[in-house]
């Protein structure tokens, strides 16, 4: 067996090295595939850019140059036309190169997919490389160019050198022609050559052991990195030595075998001497004595030099003759005694001959059998009769079988004794059915008791411990020997009162069982919580005999529950109650009809601190604010942080107006001193909103909402103060909620309508443009101004749906204008939300126009300066995209904001619109006229057109015309009108001094 184990160990060494080779091959293959896939992803991303196709005078686009700089394993990148002419390369761009003879180029043209090349000397950089090719398609899906990347073979080999391989390991990567493109250890001379004599047949698939010319045995594994029926196949070859490990195993096997043979010879020699001395010589003497006794001669054994056993045999032999008659008389007596005993025993007795015939029996549970197989299964009978008929060393001493008796299955134990002299056997049967059932029950109970994860304790009726299971020892730390004979009070923690234990014992005495949660103490003094169940075992007289206690350690569960509850209900930064705990507390207080009020506290300009000092210092400041607020714990039933820089103080029992004012003043006073964070003094104040129940709300949500509105009022009043929620705020809230509800219904039922106000050419007074203005036709309130509902729509992002309605309606109107042969540019107001929301469909407008055969140049998108003041990257991107699509841009309300020239340049606008507030005063105010003239001149200098809004008089028209204004809009020309009226207006308009219409 030892030799077999050593041989198995030698085989395991081979398997281990094979598994190591497979694991290394898998690791290297995955790394190489990841590198190739990264190259493929890079080429795929580059192929999508239109700028890639620009190759001026052999100079590639900056995109390719940047890609080569950020990708260290790329030696060169080039753009190739379909004839194989290299249009440009990042390096050596002046050389004219054609690669139409390269197989990877042909494969890329044929398959129009990413292609991996073979070993080559690159014609642009004159280095050993493997090139990759990616087809480039135009918008129609036609192949236009091939993007080629060159990868240096020495860099590829260096990537293998960075891996951790076993000593003297070798690895190469070959291309489809079986040329080496990378190797480990690195050998530049091998690159481009086929595998040398140190590698097995290059076409071998799988794993093999081989011996190199130096005599070293190695394991060789071949695995595909990229497998393809085309020419872009890459294969990994790994060679790992295992000669040293095999030699050590062989030496161990040889040494063990020699020692085993020597020990075997020594044992054989000792056994032979001992056998001759102890057994063979005494047996020969005994045989001589038996021969003499058989002839009737009295003889005695030579007892000298005999072992004690053989001396005893000699003495018995000498006494055998004299004892023979005595033995025969005793045998007759014993026979009678045995027969009486058999009749008295409950077991069944049978005596059978070698044919299985029952010669005698005392069977009472069935009819007396004639053959043994009438009672015993045939298989057992056959084996028993075989022993009787053919004497051998085989004995059947005991076996079990089952039999049906009165319809029930019984299990019997059969014990046999052979009577060799008569070729008979004695068979004793015992019904062990009840014993078997009891044994199974005991096994099951013992298995549960020993393997249960719950601790179990068996005590007497007074709590003295009789037995414990392994789980008890594991949980309590006490060994079984330490607790046997002691009372269960050994585990008492002192955390329960005497009344607790009195109630427990009273329930045990009255009901025989108790269940509940108990805190006990381990041997090391550590407290733990357990769920304990105690049941009482009663004796036959109904008196308590024993008690069985089963317990489960729930300490960890209790700790986890407490931790989860703590994390769920408390803020991790300040350790104050969070919003969830606040709502629970308010719900409880309100359910008890407790008079309460809440103070919602919002830190003023906290964002400035975060932006200037960083969130780390901002968190420190929040913790300090929480510490200061905790000084009011005696006056508040709860202090919580509900998010960001918002805190809520709950005041119960005393919600009088004066008391709430006093507490609010205390809060502001506590926050007034400077807060020092890392030697940086920070001054903070707060705005407080106050709401009381039940007048301001009878739920946590209503109270928080009311306090939030009051807080915003405090901010509007100058911050660092407090404000109470009142009925006016409630009314404004209700109106806002009703307006929002009506607005959602209006979107569903299309209650909106576009009005159009003409924009005229100032010189000809011809209507060449129009601004689309939305109106809400409320079924009960009539027309609602956009100034009322647009801010709410922007706040709730309903403006996205309204904006789509405006655009779709304007498109329909434009189609009607085109049918009437009118060339009019329609202006659409676009909200900043439409630019910043990720759900906006602004960039899809051009597609919608293409479907309607409309042009983007027929529309002007009006935006405000505020859009760019807070412009996000998404906003800027969408604005640039719309401009590229052909939409004209107009900057509305110019002059009312920052009027920044940087914004004008950044937004690439086409028009500016002078706000009505400047136009109103130009007839009477030289300053307003000068401002308008300056804005017009500035716009013209920047190449922009100017639209003046709110022109209502002829004087305003003439003054703006004289100032050089391009377009005019206002009641002097026309009021906003529904679509039908506007179309009639355009069809019937006459152009003179003005186009005013009702």
Report pLDDT digits (tens) over 717-730: 889 999 998 877 77
Q: In this predicted model, which residue has the larger pLDDT, 864 or 180?
A: 180
Same domain? 546 vs 581 = no
- pTM beyond 0.75: the answer is no
For 336-363, write each residue's pLDDT tens digit: 777 676 666 667 777 888 777 887 777 7
> Residue 577, SS3?
strand
Given 531, 559, 587, the domain boundary residue is 559
Tell me what pLDDT residue 160 has: 80
Tell me what pLDDT residue 979 has: 95
Instruction: Check pLDDT > 50 for residue 485.
Output: yes
For 815-826, write each residue's pLDDT tens digit: 999 999 999 999
Structure tokens at 805: 């309605």
Rounded to an integer, the average pLDDT of 272-287 is: 70
192: confidence class by pLDDT, cuts 50, 70, 90: confident
Same domain? 549 vs 596 = no
Does residue 751 fall inside a structural domain? no
Structure tokens at 573: 């930064």
From the list 17, 325, 326, the residue with the least C-alpha distance to 168 is 17
Rounded to an integer, the average pLDDT of 968-996 is: 81
CB contact set of 788 (below 8 Å; sequence gap of 6+): 739
Tell me what pLDDT residue 305 has: 60
Tell me what pLDDT residue 393 has: 57
Given 532, 559, 586, the domain boundary residue is 559
Instruction: Check pLDDT > 60 for residue 507.
Output: yes
CATH of the domain at 979: 3.20.20.450
Tell me what pLDDT residue 555 has: 82
| Percentage of residues in the chain having pLDDT higher than 90 | 30
| Percentage of residues in the chain having pLDDT higher than 70 | 85
**Enclosing domain of residue 578:** 570-725
Taking residue 887's Cβ as centre, other Cβ atoms within 10 Å add up to 23
Tell me what pLDDT residue 989 has: 66
Same domain? 619 vs 711 = yes
Does residue 790 fall inside a structural domain? yes
Give me the helix-helix angle, 700-716 and 579-591, nearest 10°: 120
998: confidence class by pLDDT, cuts 50, 70, 90: very low
For 368-407, write each residue's pLDDT tens digit: 787 877 777 777 777 777 777 766 555 556 777 787 777 7
- Out of 119-128, 264-273, 568-577, which region has the weakest mean confidence (pLDDT)? 264-273
Does residue 906 fall inside a structural domain? yes
Instruction: Check pLDDT > 90 for residue 827.
Output: yes
Distance CA 116, CA 175 (A): 9
Tell me what pLDDT residue 204 has: 58
Same domain? 430 vs 482 = no
**Residue 920 near residue 950, CB atoms below 8 Å:** yes
For 930-958, write each residue's pLDDT tens digit: 999 999 999 998 889 999 999 999 999 99
Instruction: Check pLDDT > 90 for residue 641.
Output: yes
- Out of 380-389, 508-517, 539-548, which region has the weakest mean confidence (pLDDT)? 380-389
Same domain? 653 vs 783 = no
Distance of alpha carbon 317 from the chain centroid: 88
Rounded to an integer, the average pLDDT of 671-692 is: 89
Taking residue 950's Cβ as centre, other Cβ atoms within 10 Å add up to 18
Given 438, 461, 483, the domain boundary residue is 438
Q: Which residues pair with 724 in a beta bridge?
A: 690
Tell me what pLDDT residue 993 has: 43
For 356-369, write each residue's pLDDT tens digit: 788 777 776 677 78
CATH of the domain at 683: 3.30.70.270
Distance of alpha carbon 343 from the chain centroid: 78
Same domain? 79 vs 200 = yes
Same domain? 805 vs 701 = no
Does residue 216 fall inside a structural domain? yes
From the list 859, 853, 801, the residue with the least C-alpha distance to 831 is 801
> Residue 629, SS3?
helix
**Helices marked H in 77-142 — which ranges?**
103-111
Same domain? 527 vs 600 = no
Classify strands 767-778 and 825-829 as parallel, antiparallel or unpaired.
parallel
Same domain? 393 vs 530 = no
Distance CA 659, CA 665 (A): 10
Tell me what pLDDT residue 153 has: 87
Q: In this predicted model, which residue has the larger pLDDT, 386 or 745?
A: 745
Structure tokens at 63: 């995109």
Does residue 312 fall inside a structural domain? no
| Domains contained in the chain, number | 5
Rounded to an integer, the average pLDDT of 879-893 is: 90
Rounded to an integer, the average pLDDT of 427-439 is: 79
Rounded to an integer, the average pLDDT of 417-443 is: 77
Instruction: Check pLDDT > 60 for residue 304.
Output: no
Same domain? 717 vs 814 = no
Does residue 421 fall inside a structural domain? yes
Does residue 944 fall inside a structural domain? yes
Tell me what pLDDT residue 992 has: 41
Distance CA 522, CA 477 (A): 6
**Residue 927 near residue 934, CB atoms below 8 Å:** no
Instruction: Check pLDDT > 60 for residue 900.
Output: no
Tell me what pLDDT residue 991 has: 43
CATH of the domain at 359: 3.30.450.20
Q: What is the mean pLDDT of the chain?
A: 83
- Side-chain half-sphere of 375: how many Cα atoms within 13 Å? 30
From the list 466, 464, 377, 486, the residue with the least C-alpha distance to 429 is 377
For 51-67, write each residue's pLDDT tens digit: 777 777 778 888 888 88
**Helices marked H in 630-699 — which ranges?**
657-671
Same domain? 689 vs 802 = no
Does residue 585 fall inside a structural domain? yes
**Residue 86 near residue 100, CB atoms below 8 Å:** no
Distance CA 896, CA 935 (A): 12
Same domain? 631 vs 693 = yes
Tell me what pLDDT residue 40 has: 87
């Amino acid at each position: 067996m030892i030799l077999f184990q050593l041989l198995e160990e030698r085989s395991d060494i081979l398997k281990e090295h094979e598994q190591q080779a497979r694991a290394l091959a898998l690791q290297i293959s995955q790394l190489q595939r990841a590198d190739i896939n990264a190259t493929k992803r890079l080429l795929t991303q580059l192929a999508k850019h239109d700028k890639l196709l620009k190759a001026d005078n052999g100079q590639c686009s900056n995109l390719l140059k940047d890609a080569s700089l950020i990708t260290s394993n790329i030696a060169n990148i080039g753009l190739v036309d379909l004839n194989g002419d290299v249009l440009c390369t990042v390096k050596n761009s002046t050389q004219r190169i054609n690669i139409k003879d390269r197989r990877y180029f042909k494969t890329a043209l044929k398959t129009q997919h990413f292609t991996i090349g073979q070993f080559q000397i690159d014609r642009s950089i004159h280095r050993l490389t493997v090139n990759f090719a990616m087809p480039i398609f135009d918008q129609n899906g036609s192949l236009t160019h091939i993007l080629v990347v060159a990868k240096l073979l020495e860099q590829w080999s260096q990537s293998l050198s960075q891996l951790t391989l076993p000593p003297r390991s070798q690895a190469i990567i070959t291309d489809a022609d079986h040329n080496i493109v990378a190797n480990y250890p690195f050998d530049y001379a091998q690159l481009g050559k086929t595998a040398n004599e140190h590698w097995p047949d290059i076409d071998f698939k799988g794993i093999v052991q081989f011996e190199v010319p130096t005599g070293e045995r190695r394991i060789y594994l071949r695995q595909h990195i990229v497998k393809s029926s085309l020419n872009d196949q890459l294969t990994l070859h790994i060679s790992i030595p295992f000669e040293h490990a095999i030699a050590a195993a062989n030496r161990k096997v040889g040494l063990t075998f020699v020692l085993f043979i020597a020990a075997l010879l020594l044992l054989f020699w000792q056994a032979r001497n001992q056998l001759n001395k102890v057994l063979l010589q005494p047996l020969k003497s005994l045989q001589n004595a038996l021969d003499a006794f058989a002839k009737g001669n009295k003889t005695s054994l030579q007892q000298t030099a005999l072992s004690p056993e053989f001396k005893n045999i000699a003495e018995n032999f000498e006494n055998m003759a004299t004892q023979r008659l005595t033995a025969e008389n005793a045998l007759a007596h014993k026979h009678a005694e045995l027969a009486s005993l058999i009749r008295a025993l409950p077991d069944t007795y049978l005596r059978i001959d070698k044919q299985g015939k029952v010669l005698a029996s005392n069977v009472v549970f069935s009819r007396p059998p004639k053959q043994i197989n009438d009672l015993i299964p045939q298989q057992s009978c056959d084996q028993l009769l075989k022993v009787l008929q053919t004497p051998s060393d085989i004995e059947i001493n005991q076996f079990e079988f089952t039999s049906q008796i009165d319809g029930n299955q019984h299990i019997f134990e059969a014990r046999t004794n052979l009577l060799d002299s008569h070729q008979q056997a004695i068979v004793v049967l015992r019904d062990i059915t009840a014993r078997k059932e009891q044994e199974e029950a005991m096994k099951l109970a013992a298995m549960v008791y020993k393997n249960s994860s719950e601790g179990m304790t068996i005590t007497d009726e007074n709590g003295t411990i009789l037995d414990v299971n392994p789980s008890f020892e594991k949980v309590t730390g006490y060994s079984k020997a330490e607790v046997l004979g002691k009372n269960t009070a050994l585990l008492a923690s002192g955390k329960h009162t005497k009344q607790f234990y009195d109630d427990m014992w009273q329930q045990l005495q009255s009901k025989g069982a108790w269940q509940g949660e108990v805190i006990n103490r381990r041997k090391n003094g550590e407290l733990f919580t357990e769920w304990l169940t105690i049941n009482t075992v009663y004796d036959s007289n109904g008196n308590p005999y024993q008690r069985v206690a089963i317990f489960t350690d729930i300490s960890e569960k209790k700790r986890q529950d407490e931790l989860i509850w703590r994390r769920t209900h408390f803020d991790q930064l300040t350790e104050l109650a969070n919003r969830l705990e606040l709502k629970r507390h308010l719900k409880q207080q309100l359910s008890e009809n407790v008079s309460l009020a809440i103070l919602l506290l919002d830190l003023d300009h906290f964002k400035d601190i975060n932006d200037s000092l960083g969130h780390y210092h901002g968190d420190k400041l929040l913790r300090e604010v929480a510490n200061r607020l905790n000084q009011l714990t005696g006056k508040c039933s709860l202090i919580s942080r509900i998010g960001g820089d918002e805190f809520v103080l709950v005041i119960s029992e005393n919600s009088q107006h004066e008391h709430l004012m006093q507490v609010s003043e205390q809060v502001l006073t506590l926050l007034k001193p400077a807060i020092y964070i890392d030697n940086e003094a920070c001054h903070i104040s707060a705005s407080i909103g106050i709401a009381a129940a039940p007048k301001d709300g009878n739920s946590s949500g209503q109270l928080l909402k009311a306090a939030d509105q009051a807080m915003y009022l405090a901010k509007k009043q100058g911050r660092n103060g407090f404000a109470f929620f009142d009925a006016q705020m409630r009314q404004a809230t209700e109106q806002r909620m009703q307006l929002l509800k009506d607005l959602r219904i209006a979107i569903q039922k299309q209650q909106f309508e576009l009005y159009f106000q003409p924009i005229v050419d100032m010189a000809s007074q011809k209507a060449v443009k129009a601004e689309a203005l939305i109106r809400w036709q409320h079924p009960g309130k009539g027309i609602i101004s956009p100034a009322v509902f647009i801010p709410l729509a922007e706040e709730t992002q309903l403006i996205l749906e309204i904006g789509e309605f405006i655009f779709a309606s304007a498109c329909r109107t434009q189609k009607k204008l085109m049918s009437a042969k009118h060339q009019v540019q329609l202006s659409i107001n676009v909200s900043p939300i439409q630019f910043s929301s990720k759900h906006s469909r602004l960039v899809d407008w051009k597609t919608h126009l293409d479907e309607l055969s409309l042009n983007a140049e027929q529309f002007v998108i009006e935006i405000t300066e505020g859009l760019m003041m807070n412009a996000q990257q998404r906003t800027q991107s969408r604005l640039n995209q719309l401009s590229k699509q052909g939409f004209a841009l107009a900057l509305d309300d110019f002059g009312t904001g920052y009027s920044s020239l940087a914004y004008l340049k950044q937004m690439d606008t086409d028009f500016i619109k002078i706000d009505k507030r400047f136009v109103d005063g130009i007839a009477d105010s030289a300053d307003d006229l000068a401002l308008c003239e300056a804005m017009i001149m500035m716009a013209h200098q920047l190449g922009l057109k100017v639209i003046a809004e709110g022109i209502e008089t002829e004087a305003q028209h003439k003054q703006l015309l004289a100032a050089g204004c391009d377009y005019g809009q206002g009641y002097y020309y026309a009021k906003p009108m529904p679509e039908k009226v506007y179309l009639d207006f355009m069809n019937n308009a006459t152009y003179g001094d003005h186009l005013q219409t009702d």
